[in-house]
Amino acid sequence: MLVLYFVYKIQSRPVIEYTDLSQPIYKRLKEMIRSGELKQGEKIIQEKIAETLGVSRTPLMKALLALENEYLVESIPRRGMYIRALNYQEIIDIYICREALEGMAARLLASEKSRTKVKKLEACFSSFIGENSIDETAYAHADEAFHSLLIQLTGNKPLDTIYFFSNIHDKVVGHGLVRSPKETLKEHFNIIRAIESGDADKAEQLTRAHINKSKELLINQYKNQERE
């Protein structure tokens, strides 16, 4: 009996990686908004931005729609798209939301008492310890990372989803530091110590107070402007 052996050479197919071109555009536009390169209230000239970034209109539009969902860009009928200008009440409302969400996050982290997570929070500000002069731009980035980490490290998916889709902290990043690093650095570490010790009540209280102080300062600044 003749037995035929067929040997098949299986050639591996190249893996096609699909890259969403809108993602790097989205990140770059967000940075431009944060830095003030694109100013609040400014009309978005898509042709100009596409040329500046060296991209086509399709991924640019997708990136702009993502920013619109995050409340950073707004589309005005028959006028076009603009960088959203937050008014006073909207900023205050954002701080109220932050106070509730981040306070809850600090409580959850304190209940967990994870040394690994505490170290990650400490790392945000460790480079500023003992510094007489703190670079406010670097500190602002550290501050943003810290407040985002509070949410992310909980591992609480619903909480993380709410924070991500509302993008609460990013809405006020463009507003800059409300209070100086000299005042808030100690507050950040007090929050971290409360989380480390497992004191859930204190961790939530300190986090809420930290955000509330900035909110009250903004309210007072607004009232003073009204009197002038």
> Could you tell me the residue ranges of all domains in the chain?
22-83, 88-227
CATH topology of domain 22-83: Arc Repressor Mutant, subunit A (1.10.10)
Domain 88-227 in CATH 1.20.120.530? The answer is: yes
Alpha helices by DSSP H, listed for 130-199, are 136-152, 157-166, 168-173, 181-197
CA dihedral defined by 29, 34, 39, 45, rounded to 10 degrees?
0
The whole-angstrom separation of Cα 86 and Cα 6 is: 70
Residues of the chain with pLDDT under 70: 1-20, 165-176, 228
Looking at residue 86, its pLDDT comes to 77
Q: What pLDDT is recorded for position 222? A: 81
The separation between CA 120 and the C-alpha centre of its own chain, rounded to angstroms, equals 16
How high is the pLDDT of residue 172?
A: 66
pLDDT at 37: 87
End-to-end CA gap in the chain: 105
At residue 48, the pLDDT reads 93
- pTM: predicted TM-score of the whole model, two decimal places: 0.72
Whether the CA torsion 61, 93, 98, 186 is positive or negative: it is positive
